[in-house]
A and B are shown apart, each in its own frame.
Chain A
Amino acid sequence: MKIFIRESPKEGRLWVSVRDNGRGMDENEAAKAADPFYTTRITRKVGLGIPLFKASAEATDGSFEIRSKKGEGTEIAAMFHTSHIDCLPLGKIEDSIAALIFMNPEMDIEYIHECCSNRFKLDTREIKKVLGDVSISLPEVVDWIKEYVRNGLDELNGGVGNEIS
């Protein structure tokens, strides 16, 4: 799974894309995915993940897109106008990423965050390589991930991160 976030303070825009190589959806399913009353869950009758994401982008006059192919994967992407009064803050991304990794220890997750001309990257495959047999869901490791992301994002915004050549 790949998470890509790009901020452009100059343009007042933010792009978020989440891509996977999971089961994918056919045209019909993909078209319905943004409908809150469509879900393949069996625990309840509404599915809110995608509708909430779409609504938060559209509330800023931004855009939302879903591309999917059955059996191959899905990409969900949105653009936000960050200066729009209804633009929600990104929140604690380090918490989101750490919790996501903790919840899906077997999944390979890549997270790339760009701002201006700086880039931060986290790849769970590299972390797992270092850890060997030690679980990525260990509380100490989750905490390390959280701090690592926080530090990386602070550097991005401080402009002292790695310049993209």
Chain B
Amino acid sequence: MKSLKELEEIKQKTLDSVNLRKDRSGGTRVVVGMATCGIAAGARPVLLAFLEEVKKRNLGDVTVSQTGCIGVCRLEPMVEVYRPGEEKVTYVKMTADKVKRVVAEHIVNGRPVTEFTIGAAE
């Protein structure tokens, strides 16, 4: 059972590891398109899957954020990944399962999952 006490513990843990988390701005950014069309296509579980992976793998320098519209409804859910010093990679028709691979192969190991990218879909 989740309790407010557990929330207190999360807070304490975060404050204790403040050095690990102090500056994510130089790290990888993940942006999930969350307009109604994206949500209807399944963007919500995709967003939550990214958060879950970041939490599980303790990826202190990765920020996950959302934006309204990335622009191509039929390719939603769409996700943009920005790694410092590299070109943006846009993933399309994402699912929670695909998120696991993108995190493992691209975000952690630096190799984009080409087959999920907008380039492969077009």
Contacts and interface: CB of A to CB of B under 8 A. Distances in A.
B11 A131 contact: yes
B56 to A, nearest CB: 9
A48 B37 CA distance: 8
Contacts of B7: 127, 130-131, 141, 144
A142 B51 contact: yes
A37 interface: no
Contact of B48 (A48, A99, A127, A144): A99
Nearest to B68: A43
Interface stretch (A5-13, A14-22, A59-67, A146-154): A146-154
A116 interface: no
A95 B44 contact: yes
A165 B64 CA distance: 41
A164 interface: no
Nearest to A126: B4
B114 interface: no
A150 to B, nearest CB: 8
Contacts of A47: 36
Given A134-B11, A151-B2, A143 B51 contact: yes
Interface residues of A, number: 32
B11 to A, nearest CB: 5
A130 B4 contact: yes
A151 B37 CA distance: 29
B45 A95 contact: yes
A134 B51 CA distance: 16
Nearest to A50: B36
A48 B69 contact: no
Contact of A103 (B1, B4, B34, B69): B34
B44 A147 contact: no
Nearest to B6: A144
Interface string B60-96: 0000101011010100000000000000000000000
Contact of B11 (A103, A130, A151): A130
A49 interface: yes
B40 interface: yes
A156 interface: no
B10 A138 contact: yes
A43 B78 CA distance: 15
B55 A49 contact: no
Given A48-B37, A143-B51, 10 more contacts: A41-B69, A43-B71, A47-B36, A52-B40, A95-B45, A99-B44, A127-B7, A130-B4, A139-B51, A142-B48
11 contacts: A43-B68, A43-B71, A47-B36, A95-B45, A102-B47, A103-B66, A130-B11, A133-B15, A134-B15, A139-B51, A143-B55
